[in-house]
Amino acid sequence: MPFLSRFAVSTLVIAFAVRPSGQQPSGLDATRVLVSRREVRVLFPAETSHRWGWSRRNAGENSASYAWIVSIDGIDGPRSLMLSLWQMHDSARTFASLKDVVAVSRAQLCSPGMVQQCHDVGMRANVEGARVVLRLRDSATIAQLFSMRPATVNIYRGRPGTSDRAGKVRAEYVAPQIPMPDSALRADVARRRRQYQASVNTITRSIGAGTEFRESTILIETGDSAVLTVNEMHCSFDACGGFSIGVPDSSWVLDDTTVAAIRRPGPVSSGGMLVYSSVGPYLVGRRPGTTTIRVRNIHSAADTMPSRDPVPSSLQRELRVLPRLARVEIVPRPDTVQAGTTVEFRTRVFDREGQEVAGLLTEWRTQTRPFAQTGLQASRSVRFDSTGTASVIARVGGRSDSLTIVVVPRRR
């Protein structure tokens, strides 16, 4: 499968390659999209280039590519008719003609997403004169894409050494005609589009404390506090965004109020008036121990939005109140390691009385070239592959520790 099947077109950056000679390509508005019940035929503008291929790829450059794409908002979600060819290796390559480029390219029908799903069903491509022509001959797929007779489709063309071109053109409906949609079809389309949206969207809710957006146990120390929130995460495919939503103070409940308490910020005087804070309720740790915090009657606009899983209206999360902590210590503590060495790190946590506090997960962040890792674990195994400087950072509650390690060449 070509790389274009793995990444959304909107994320592509075309690398420098052999610069075509001659005039600039004609505008994409010259593209024709002819649609019937039996065939979709897309005629791209005439290509005026006389040299085809790409130069050798240097380190750090993106792969060069050719792409001719038509995107349609279909009944069961958007789809793309796609013809693409990618530079699979660093070496240069030349083609004798546009026909040779199209002959080794791949025509596919693709679904959107950062990781695209592509199929060859009913797709063909050829060259007529100097125009690339895409054909789809699959009546079921054509019905899925064009039963609602969309007036326009989106066009994209990308080539090495030139700027990407994108635009919108009119769809031309020809014999044998696709029937005009009736009320029954429109109702079915509304249902199927909601099913599609639910299949690609996920909405989740969680209890947050302070800046935490996790499902793990909330940790606070005796006497400390943390603002309570209900967090929503909205994901479309694998792109996500999160925010906090408001719930009534009465919705929050603690199973054991001797371990912690829920408080509401009191009013403050401002200009002779009492002003209440917009910050929600907060937890206060009373004594070391473990309990459960619950929140009920959660409602937002997400209640009626399509989601892969139902959005919960109630949540719970474990709360652990710790004694006042003094320090976190990473062990072991090497100054240097040889490249290729794996070290397993763990933490020791001590309270102000010098007693070790057991059973706490650690938030790890390791920075070793060429990547960084994060996670919430009891320990973390790190392999040091590249020479240079690496760091290991551990955080438990509000305490942290860090190491700077020099990675030296492996001894012969």
Per-residue confidence (pLDDT) for residue 214, from 0 to 100:
59
pLDDT score of 405 more than 80: yes
Mean pLDDT within 203-214: 78
Per-residue confidence (pLDDT) for residue 188, from 0 to 100:
92
Q: What is the mean pLDDT of the chain?
A: 86
The CA dihedral of 327, 332, 337, 340, to the nearest 10 degrees, is -110
- Amino acid 332 reads P
237 vs 370, more confident? 237
pLDDT score of 233 more than 50: yes
Mean pLDDT within 69-81: 92
pLDDT tens column, 121-145: 889 999 999 999 999 999 999 999 9
pLDDT score of 84 more than 80: yes
C-alpha closest to that of 41 among 124, 121, 111, 148? 124
Percent of the chain with pLDDT over 70: 86
60 vs 101, more confident? 101
Q: Decide: helix, strand or coil at residue 131.
A: strand
Residue partners of 320: CB distance under 8 A and separation at least 6: 217, 218, 219, 220, 289, 290
Per-residue confidence (pLDDT) for residue 210, from 0 to 100:
73
Query: Could you report how far apart the first and last alpha carbons of the chain are, in Å?
Result: 41
Give residue 373's pLDDT band: very low, low, confident or very high (50, 70, 90): low
Mean pLDDT within 60-83: 90
Per-residue confidence (pLDDT) for residue 274, from 0 to 100:
58
Query: 292: which strand partners?
Result: 318
Give residue 280's pLDDT band: very low, low, confident or very high (50, 70, 90): confident
Alpha carbons 326 and 249: distance in angstroms, whole number: 33
Per-residue confidence (pLDDT) for residue 16, from 0 to 100:
27
Mean pLDDT within 230-242: 88
The most confident of 61-70, 135-144, 162-171, 258-267, by mean pLDDT: 135-144
Per-residue confidence (pLDDT) for residue 374, from 0 to 100:
65
Give burial (CB, 10 Å; 0-12/13-18/19+) of 325: buried
Alpha carbons 230 and 213: distance in angstroms, whole number: 9
pTM of the predicted model, to two decimals? 0.66
Per-residue confidence (pLDDT) for residue 277, from 0 to 100:
55
Hey, what are 68's tokens? 């001719």
Which of these ranges, 183-192, 265-274, 310-319, has the smallest mean pLDDT?
A: 265-274
Per-residue confidence (pLDDT) for residue 81, from 0 to 100:
96
Residue ranges of domains in the chain, CATH in brackets: 3-181 (no CATH), 201-322 (2.60.40), 325-408 (2.60.40.10)
Residue in this structure with the two tokens 């499902």, named with its chain if needed: 215
- Distance (Å) of CA 400 to CA 210, 393, 397: 17, 7, 8
C-alpha closest to that of 222 among 283, 282, 288? 288
Mean pLDDT within 201-221: 82
Residue partners of 97: CB distance under 8 A and separation at least 6: 52
pLDDT tens column, 17-58: 333 333 344 478 899 999 999 999 999 999 988 889 999 988
Per-residue confidence (pLDDT) for residue 69, from 0 to 100:
95
Percent of the chain with pLDDT over 90: 60
pLDDT score of 371 more than 80: no
pLDDT tens column, 305-353: 999 999 999 999 999 999 999 999 999 999 999 999 999 999 999 999 9
